[in-house]
């Protein structure tokens, strides 16, 4: 198994859009810098939370160019490179490797259903073979609640076996702890990141690599504390705190809700914009969400807490 470029708390970064609906590279770079400053160990840009599949491959690649130009270290980046077309995926992966990104996060092709493990394997193998770079580190992105198509336990094993230096980890957004546990049991040394901080402590206790979680957009310090103290006496209490925030957020559509929180606490209303097919929270939902967060004593980031 290859060396692991990522561990700890990775954030699938929200993507801001301008009033005309275009990706807002300036706000995006500033937000990425802030997340790293908050203690994020890596940025899984262009994931589901990032509305990546609501952007064209060209828009995603331009945003990555702008991030690197803005001084965000490429080795901290794990861009999502999933696409339904092998040709699009090859272009996205090549571009990420050329920038020296620490890794890429790879959705299975998600249009056709049902598809066989053989078909998904052929797709992923086609991408890796066409890119043909020993620098590529690929993390599989398993999110059947959204993509419907996923990576079965067996398929993960076949991909590791075929590409041991390249297929080095997986983000498990199945929401199914049994699947995460089975991956950790079956494939030691393979970097498994639960897709929610709810499973962070349980995952670490079984050899997990950390987590890649939407809520990281608003709670890197809290999640990082669990990661730093998972063997300490406070681990359970710290985990309970971040689980409470997660459950509060989960009562709302996650991406619009997170954008609303960022807009509110960063005093930047433009952040609330989403791209169709997502819709922003309405005024009632927004007020209820902010009130729910107040009830659990939420404050955005350590710096804000210190400044207050």
Q: Which residues bind a second copy (CB under 8 A)?
A: 21, 48, 53-59, 83-88, 91, 108-113, 115-116, 118-120, 122-123, 126, 145-149, 275-279
Residue 89 tokens read as: 């995926």
Residue 289 tokens read as: 């969400």
Query: Which strands form 42-43's sheet, in the order they lie side by side?
Result: 42-43, 8-11, 210-212
Q: Residue 276 Cβ, how far from a second copy at the closest point, in Å?
A: 4
Nearer to a second copy, 130 or 186 (CB): 130
Non-local (6+) Cβ contacts of 165 within 8 A are 2, 134
Q: Residue 124 Cβ, how far from a second copy at the closest point, in Å?
A: 8
Q: Residue 278 Cβ, how far from a second copy at the closest point, in Å?
A: 6
Q: Residue 143 Cβ, how far from a second copy at the closest point, in Å?
A: 10
Q: Residue 213 Cβ, how far from a second copy at the closest point, in Å?
A: 18
Nearer to a second copy, 67 or 83 (CB): 83
Question: CA–CA separation, 168 vs 192, rounded Å?
Answer: 9
Question: CA–CA separation, 198 vs 163, rounded Å?
Answer: 30
Nearer to a second copy, 115 or 182 (CB): 115
Nearer to a second copy, 122 or 228 (CB): 122
Q: Residue 84 Cβ, how far from a second copy at the closest point, in Å?
A: 4
Nearer to a second copy, 109 or 221 (CB): 109
Q: Residue 55 Cβ, how far from a second copy at the closest point, in Å?
A: 5
Nearer to a second copy, 83 or 209 (CB): 83
Nearer to a second copy, 254 or 270 (CB): 254
């Amino acid at each position: 198994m290859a060396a692991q470029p990522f561990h700890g708390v990775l954030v699938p970064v929200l993507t801001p859009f301008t009033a005309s609906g275009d990706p807002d590279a300036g706000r995006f770079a500033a937000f990425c810098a802030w997340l790293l400053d908050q203690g994020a160990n890596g940025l899984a840009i262009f994931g589901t939370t990032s509305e990546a599949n609501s952007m064209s491959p060209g828009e995603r690649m331009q945003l990555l160019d702008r991030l690197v130009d803005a001084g965000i270290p490429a080795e901290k980046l794990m861009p999502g490179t999933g696409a339904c077309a092998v040709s699009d995926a090859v272009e996205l992966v090549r571009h990420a490797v050329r920038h020296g990104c620490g890794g890429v996060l790879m959705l299975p092709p998600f249009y056709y259903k049902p598809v066989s493990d053989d078909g998904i394997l052929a797709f992923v193998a086609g991408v890796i073979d066409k890119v043909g770079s020993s620098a590529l580190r690929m993390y599989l992105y398993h999110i059947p609640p959204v993509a419907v198509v996923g990576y079965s336990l067996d398929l993960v094993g076949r991909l590791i076996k075929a590409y041991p230096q390249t297929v080095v980890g997986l983000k498990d957004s199945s929401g199914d702890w049994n699947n995460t546990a089975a991956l950790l049991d079956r494939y030691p040394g393979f970097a498994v990141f639960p897709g929610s901080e709810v499973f962070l402590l349980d995952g670490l206790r079984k050899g997990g690599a950390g987590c890649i979680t939407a809520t990281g957009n608003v709670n890197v310090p809290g999640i990082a504390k669990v990661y730093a103290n998972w063997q300490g006496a406070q681990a359970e209490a710290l985990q309970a705190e971040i689980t409470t925030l997660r459950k509060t957020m989960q009562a709302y559509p996650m991406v619009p809700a997170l954008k609303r929180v960022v807009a509110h606490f960063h005093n930047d209303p433009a952040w609330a914009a989403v791209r169709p097919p997502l819709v922003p929270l309405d005024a009632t939902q927004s007020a209820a969400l902010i009130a729910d967060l107040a009830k659990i004593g939420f404050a955005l980031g350590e710096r804000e807490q210190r400044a207050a």
